[in-house]
Amino acid sequence: MLFLIRYIFYRHYDSTDESSLHDIHLLVIDTERFPARTFIRDSDLISAFKRFDDREKSGLKSIAHLRDNTAHYFGEYLSQGSSRISGKCSKVSAQSMISRRLLDLHVVFRRACEGEDPDKWVMPVHAVRNTIRAARNDQLASLELLHKAFDIALVFGEDWRLPIAVHLLALLPYALERREVYGRLWTRLRPTEHEVDCCATYWQTIHAPQSMPELVRGQSIMKKLFVIHVQGG
């Protein structure tokens, strides 16, 4: 989610693109609705084929080193062949998310929308990650901010709202260490039993390296949500 939000503004300001925020959409797909092996992590492909690449610079070996030994890993997946996504995704425009106060969730998002470092994509992501790592020791997120995250998540519709809400909460540069946060999420989103089960499975199986604190934190949030749900709120 973090990488994609930054990419929205990168696309918007890129001189070779300059797409309107109304025309840039975030698509969330349910991989379980696709045949097995439709998607594969790019890092797995790089690992499999790097031994066939003899280039010393800018080849697969250097890319693998960059991904494995630094924070330059962002969880990219590739689809194999043309993916028919109709009925298997939720599609929301960047402008719709912004209208629901996406920019209030993190100051870096607002600065990006205003055109700060428009030609940069990776370093702003690192800046947000640093605030996520420090969030546990920061002040508690306000209830107003939480509800803004929930309002954005609701736009994605049933089956999608819960995982999107968790992703957005994980990006907040504030602490979430209180039960009230999770209770309000249940009350605001009212997820179905199916949504809870799917979301819990998703966060249990997702690859979340320490270099991606947004995913590590998302797993922690979902675990707490699931425990509270099992305990009956």
Query: What are the extents of the domains in the chain?
Result: 2-30+85-231, 35-79
d(CA 192, CA 43): 34
Residues 6+ apart with CB under 8 A from 88: 29, 30, 33, 34
The pLDDT, as a whole number, for residue 108 is 92
Name the one residue in this structure whose structure tokens are 């009350």.
187
Please state the separation of Cα 209 from the chain's center in Å.
14
CA dihedral 185, 190, 196, 198 (to 10 degrees): -110
The pLDDT, as a whole number, for residue 233 is 54
The pLDDT, as a whole number, for residue 70 is 65
Residues 6+ apart with CB under 8 A from 51: none
The pLDDT, as a whole number, for residue 59 is 83
Q: Cα dist. 158→75, 128, 195 in Å?
A: 25, 28, 8
Q: What is the pTM of this model?
A: 0.85
* pLDDT digits (tens), the chain, 233 positions: 999 999 999 999 988 888 999 999 999 988 888 888 888 888 888 888 888 888 877 788 887 877 776 677 777 777 876 678 888 889 999 999 999 999 999 999 999 999 988 888 788 888 889 898 888 667 888 889 999 999 999 999 988 899 899 999 999 999 886 677 777 887 888 888 778 877 778 777 777 778 889 998 988 888 887 777 666 65
How many residues does the structure list for the chain?
Answer: 233
Q: Give the largest CA-CA distance in the chain.
A: 57
The pLDDT, as a whole number, for residue 211 is 82
Residues 6+ apart with CB under 8 A from 52: none
